[in-house]
C-alpha cells in the first residue's frame, strides 16, 4: 500500500511538471494578447498543477509516516512547491501576467534538479525523528519561495532597465547570471544522460570522515576524488575488487564530497562550452533574447513586488531558519548553535536580508539597486542549496 502511494505521488508530481510546462504557452501569449483569456487558462493550469503537488506531499506523508522533507529530493521538491505558491499569491495580489514566465521555469528547474536524487522512502535517522522536522523545513521553504519572488521581480526589472548592448559591469553581470542558469541546466541534463542513458559508472572505495569505508559512484570521469580512494569494480552483493578507472590523481580530504564536486566541475566546463556555442549561434547576449519579454513590465510594480516579498519572506526565514532551527538543535544535539556549515550559511542569509532591508529603508536602495540585492539574495540561497548541502560535510549532510 505504501509503495503504491509513493508511486502515485511521484506520478502526480510528474503531471504537475508537464502542466507547468504547457502553461508557459498561454502565459506567453497573454503578454501580447488584448484578451485576458490566455492568462486565465495559464493560471488555471498552474493552480491544477499546484493542487497535484500538494496531493504528492500529502500522499507521500501518509505513505512514509512523516513529513516528506527529510532528504534532498523531498526538500528541493518542497522548495519548488513553495515557489509556485509564492507565484500564485503574487499573481492574485498584483495581477501581473508576465511574472509566471519567469517564476515557473525556476520551479520546474528545481523539480528537475530534485529528481536527480534518490526518491526511495527510508526510515528517519534519530536526529530527524522530531515534529520539528516538518515545522523547520516547511517554514524555511515557504520563506525561500516568497524570497524567490523578489529575485524574479528583480530579474524582470533588470532585463528591462539594463540595455542589452551596454558595455558595463551591470550588463556583464546580468549576462553572467544567464550563463549560470545555462550551467545549472547542463548540470541537470549531463547527470541524467550519463547515469540513465549512457550508463557510465566508475566505483571508488574510500574512507569517509567517520573512518567508515564507503563506495562512491562516479557517473562522469574522475577529475577530483577522495583522499586515498581506490578504483574498484562491483562483483555482486557487497563485493568489490580493484579495477582500472580514469582519474586525474587530484585527491581531496573527506571534508569535501569529491564525487559531487566532480559533477559540479564537469557542469561548469560543459556549461561554459554550451553557453559559448549558444552565443555564437545567437550572435548576441542571452539577455538581448529575453529582453523583449520584459518590455511591458511596470518597473515600479516590479520594485514593489521585490520589496514586499522580502518584508514578508525575511521574518518567516528568521522564524524557521534561525529560531525554530535553534530549538530543534538544542533538542537533537544539546546546543542551540554550533556553527555547522548549514547553520553558518543560514546566519549569512539572515544577515544579508537584514542588510537588504537596512539599505532599502535607510539608504534609499530602491529600483535597480534593490533588484540587484534581490538577485544576490537568491544566489546565496542557491549556493546554500547546492554547494553547502552537497559539497561540505557537516551535521546536515544527511539532507
Alpha-helical regions (H) of 33-66: 37-64
**Pair (116, 245) in one structural domain:** no
Q: Which domain holds residue 208?
A: 198-271
Residue 170 is assigned to a structural domain of this protein? no
Answer yes or no: are the C-beta atoms of 6 and 64 closer than 8 Å. Answer: yes
Spatial separation of the C-alpha atoms in residues 399 and 394, rounded to whole Å: 10
**What is d(CA 83, CA 43) in angstroms, rounded to the nearest whole number?**
14
Whether 188 is in a domain gets the answer no
Which of the listed residues 271, 299, 319 is the one where a domain comes to its end? 271
Q: Would 31 be classed as within a structural domain? A: yes
**Same domain membership, residue 289 and residue 364:** yes
Of 125, 98, 130, 129, residue with least CA distance to 297: 98
Q: Nearest to residue 348, comparing CAs of 375, 372, 380?
A: 380
For residue 127, what pLDDT is reported? 66
pLDDT given at position 228: 87
Question: How far is residue 110 CA from its own chain's centroid?
Answer: 5
Position 397 scores a pLDDT of 52
Do 266 and 297 fall into the same domain?
A: no
Q: Write down the pLDDT at residue 11.
A: 92
Domain boundary among 206, 241, 271: 271
Cα gap 19→243, rounded to integer Å: 46
Task: Using the 3D structure, point to which of 271, 299, 325 is the last residue of a domain.
Answer: 271
Any domain includes 317: yes
What is the number of domains present in the chain?
2
| CA proximity to 267, closest of 188, 344, 338 | 188
82 shares a domain with 43: yes
In a shared domain, residues 35 and 150: yes
Domain shared by 122 and 214, yes or no:
no
The answer to whether residue 29 is domain-embedded is yes
8 Å CB contact between 397 and 267: no
Q: Is there a single domain that holds both residue 74 and residue 100? A: yes
**HEC states along 187-214?**
HHHHHHHHHHHHCCCEEEEEECCCCCEE
What is the per-residue pLDDT for 297? 87
The 10 Å Cβ neighbour count of residue 328 is 20
The verdict on residue 174 lying in a domain is no
- Residue 191: inside a domain: no
In this structure, are 42 and 119 located in the same domain?
Answer: yes
Q: Measure the CA dihedral 156/276/224/377, to 10°.
A: -10
**Sheet holding 239-242: strands in order across?**
213-218, 202-207, 230-236, 239-242
In this structure, the answer to whether residues 100 and 139 fall within a common structural domain is yes
Residue 7 lies inside a defined structural domain of this protein? yes
On whether both 120 and 9 belong to a single domain, the answer is yes
Give the residue ranges of the chain where pLDDT is below 70. 126-128, 389-399
Are 291 and 260 in a shared domain? no
Both 316 and 259 in a single domain?
Answer: no
Amino acid at each position: 500500500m505504501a509503495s503504491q502511494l509513493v508511486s502515485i505521488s511521484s506520478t502526480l508530481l510528474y503531471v504537475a511538471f508537464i502542466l507547468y510546462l504547457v502553461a508557459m504557452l498561454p502565459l506567453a501569449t497573454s503578454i501580447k494578447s488584448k484578451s485576458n483569456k490566455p492568462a486565465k487558462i495559464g493560471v488555471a493550469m498552474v493552480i491544477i498543477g499546484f493542487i497535484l503537488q500538494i496531493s504528492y506531499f500529502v500522499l507521500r506523508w501518509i505513505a512514509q509516516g512523516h513529513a516528506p522533507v527529510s532528504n534532498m529530493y523531498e526538500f528541493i521538491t518542497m522548495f519548488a512547491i513553495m515557489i509556485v505558491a509564492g507565484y500564485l499569491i503574487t499573481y492574485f495580489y498584483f495581477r501581473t501576467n508576465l511574472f509566471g514566465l519567469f517564476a515557473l521555469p525556476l520551479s520546474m528547474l528545481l523539480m528537475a534538479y530534485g529528481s536527480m536524487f534518490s526518491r526511495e522512502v527510508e526510515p528517519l535517522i534519530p536526529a530527524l525523528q522530531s515534529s520539528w522536522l516538518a515545522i523547520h523545513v516547511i517554514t524555511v521553504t515557504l520563506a525561500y519561495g516568497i524570497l524567490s519572488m523578489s529575485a524574479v521581480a528583480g530579474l524582470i526589472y533588470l532585463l528591462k532597465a539594463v540595455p542589452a548592448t551596454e558595455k558595463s559591469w551591470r550588463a556583464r553581470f546580468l549576462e553572467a547570471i544567464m550563463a549560470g542558469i545555462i550551467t545549472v541546466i547542463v548540470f541537470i541534463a549531463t547527470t541524467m544522460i550519463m547515469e540513465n542513458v549512457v550508463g557510465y559508472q566508475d566505483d571508488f572505495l574510500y574512507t569517509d570522515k567517520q573512518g567508515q569505508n564507503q563506495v562512491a559512484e562516479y557517473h562522469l570521469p574522475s577529475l577530483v576524488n577522495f583522499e586515498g580512494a581506490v578504483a574498484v569494480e562491483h562483483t555482486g552483493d557487497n563485493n568489490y575488487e580493484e579495477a582500472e578507472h580514469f582519474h586525474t590523481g587530484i585527491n581531496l580530504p573527506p571534508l569535501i564530497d569529491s564525487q559531487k564536486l566532480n559533477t559540479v566541475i564537469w557542469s561548469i566546463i560543459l556549461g561554459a562550452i554550451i553557453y559559448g556555442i549558444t552565443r555564437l549561434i545567437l550572435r548576441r547576449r542571452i539577455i538581448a533574447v529575453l529582453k523583449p519579454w520584459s518590455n511591458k513590465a511596470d518597473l515600479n510594480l516590479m520594485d514593489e513586488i521585490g520589496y514586499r516579498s522580502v518584508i514578508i519572506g525575511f521574518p518567516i526565514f528568521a522564524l524557521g531558519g534561525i529560531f525554530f532551527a535553534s530549538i530543534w538543535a538544542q533538542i537533537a544535539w544539546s546546543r542551540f548553535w554550533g556553527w555547522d556549515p548549514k547553520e553558518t550559511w543560514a546566519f549569512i542569509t539572515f544577515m544579508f536580508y537584514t542588510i537588504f532591508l537596512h539599505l532599502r529603508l535607510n539608504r534609499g536602495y530602491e529600483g535597480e539597486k534593490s533588484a540587484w540585492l534581490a538577485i544576490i539574495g537568491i544566489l546565496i540561497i542557491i549556493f546554500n542549496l547546492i554547494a553547502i548541502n552537497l559539497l561540505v560535510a557537516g551535521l546536515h549532510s544527511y539532507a
